Structure 1
Amino acid sequence: MSDLPSYVSGVFLATVAATFGFLYYGIKLAQRKKSNTHAIAVSTFMMVWLFLIAALSLNDFFLAFEAMPPRFVFVLLPPMISIFLILAIKRSRDFVRRMPITTLTYLHIVRVPVEIVLWWLAIHQWVPKLLTFEGINYDILSGVSAPFAAIFMVSLRSKSRIGAILWNCITLALLVNIVGHALLAAPSPFQQFAFDQPNVAVFHFPFIWLPGFIVPAVLFAHLVSLMKLFDTETELV
């Protein structure tokens, strides 16, 4: 990807760091004791995962587009399974329930620079324009509205549980929309469109961290927030 300006990767790497920071801060606040090492343990696990998929992408592991099963599943499945286990196991579910919903909501701000990076990648013909805000991707609205949702729906005294639920459901639908189209635009036996300009950027470093880390982090924030919002006995903090 030598033809890309350095600021594209730079902004994306800053976005990854911001996502990591939001998760670390939320986990740290969920600890009941200052001596707890949950934040360190989880951050170490995340760093190992980031290093692993980065190493695989740098060695062109994900570029075998005709492989079956598609090698991209090795990026998507581990985070999805991890999220499922976290929410399915009572002890971990009780822990993440203590994460502040304001932090989880502010995390969605990272969706703004992600959309800008996708637009830059489309200009340089690494992703189809279909996957940008010039196409069918309206996910930038999620990032723009996140601060307002955090301030007016979950952090003030006049909290709006219904409003926060609706916001999370709508923005979750926007996430599902773009992820689904991104998968079907990627070069694989299951590709359905964008054959003239497939979605290839996410198979390369550092953009492999978009499906491998940022998207799961955003999904996790939505699911934990909705879990807290639907539990009327849980105070929104």
Structure 2
Amino acid sequence: MTEIAITTSIGFTLTTVLTLWFFFKASRSKKALYAILFWMSIVGTLGIFGFYQKIDTFPPRFIFLLAPSIIFVFLLLLNKKSRNFMDNINLKWLTLLHTIRIPVEIVLYYVYLGGLIPALMTFEGYNFDVVSGITAPIIYYLVFVKKVLDKKTLLIWNFLALILLINILTIAILSAQTPFQKLAFEQPNIGVTYFPFVWLPAVIVPIVLFSHLSSIRQLLKLQNKNGKIENEA
């Protein structure tokens, strides 16, 4: 493994903790927090022992980094109790949560400099996800504090930021060392198979995805209820 500065690993660990803090502030659910911490411990332990780094297995172990959490997020939409949970999460904190995409992109850049991911997964390539992080506090301020933008704008922003998330997810998957690899053969995406970066696809990405889906669901329900999206706090 190419040497990654300890400060990069510490920075990413703190970013993961910050993501959990934002999520707890939004959901106020200790049960959900404990469940995420339990999943983190499993993924982290497997990452430490190099489970995800093996590429001569089928199915590719990279799949187990991303698929379980993503599938779980979408399964939540099928359960009435889970949908009620999503509908009661604080929309303000869900919006602010996306600021964590700034430190995530900074860390990814340093992981790229360490030779563990391709340039196209950073803001020097085709990863524009940092835009979501930069605009998140601005959108929060204009919608919830100054109230010069309405909730329809927030809905549009969530859709656009979701597209940016799907974009980098697609690049990351197609750059990984799997039978489905289509990009970055000269420098595959192997960084996220190492600890603590395993928490990016297994924890941070699903939380960000869940935050978008919860926000979009709330805003669409509000729109259907009122005929238009009112600018409510």
Task: State the TM-score, normalizing by the size of structure 1.
Answer: 0.90
Which amino acid counterpart does residue 73 of structure 1 have in structure 2? I
1:218 is aligned to: 208
1:5 is aligned to: 5
CA-to-aligned-CA distance 1:171-201 (integer Å, 9 cap, x gap): 1111101110011111111111211111111
Question: Which ranges in structure 2 are unaligned for 5 or more consecutive residues?
Answer: none
Q: Is the 8 A contact 1:128 1:197 kept in 2?
A: yes
1:24 is aligned to: 24
C-alpha separation between the residues in 2 aligned to 1:194 and 1:85? 32
Are residue 164 (structure 1) and residue 145 (structure 2) matched?
no
How many positions carry a matched residue from both structures?
Answer: 227
Are residue 46 (structure 1) and residue 72 (structure 2) matched?
no
C-alpha separation between the residues in 2 aligned to 1:48 and 1:190? 30
CA-to-aligned-CA distance 1:103-129 (integer Å, 9 cap, x gap): 001000000001001111111111111
Which amino acid counterpart does residue 140 of structure 2 have in structure 1? A
Q: Is the 8 A contact 2:26 2:92 kept in 1?
A: no
CA-to-aligned-CA distance 1:57-78 (integer Å, 9 cap, x gap): 1111111213211112222222
Tell me by how many angstroms 1:10 deviates: 1.2
Query: Any idea what SS the aligned residue of 2:137 has?
Result: helix
Bigger mean CA offset, 59-68 vs 209-218? 59-68
Q: Is the 8 A contact 2:26 2:89 kept in 1?
A: yes
2:107 is aligned to: 117
Identity percentage of aligned residues: 37
Q: Is the 8 A contact 2:174 2:183 kept in 1?
A: yes
Are residue 101 (structure 1) and residue 91 (structure 2) matched?
yes
C-alpha separation between the residues in 2 aligned to 1:80 and 1:131? 19
Equivalent residues in 2 for 1:74-223 (5 A)? 74-223=64-213
Query: Any idea what SS the aligned residue of 1:125 has?
Result: coil
Tell me by how many angstroms 1:155 deviates: 4.8
Bigger mean CA offset, 211-220 vs 156-165? 156-165
Aligned counterpart in structure 1 of residue 61 of structure 2, from 66, 71, 89 = 71
CA-to-aligned-CA distance 1:138-163 (integer Å, 9 cap, x gap): 11110000001112124554551221
Bigger mean CA offset, 39-48 vs 142-151? 39-48
Question: Which ranges in structure 1 are unaligned for 5 or more consecutive residues?
Answer: 29-38
Taking a change above 3 Å as real, the CA distance of residues 180 and 2 of structure 1, as seen in their structure-2 partners, is: closer
Are residue 230 (structure 1) and residue 220 (structure 2) matched?
yes
Query: Any idea what SS the aligned residue of 2:179 has?
Result: coil
Q: Is the 8 A contact 2:52 2:65 kept in 1?
A: no
Tell me by how many angstroms 1:22 deviates: 0.9
Q: Is the 8 A contact 1:154 1:161 kept in 2?
A: no
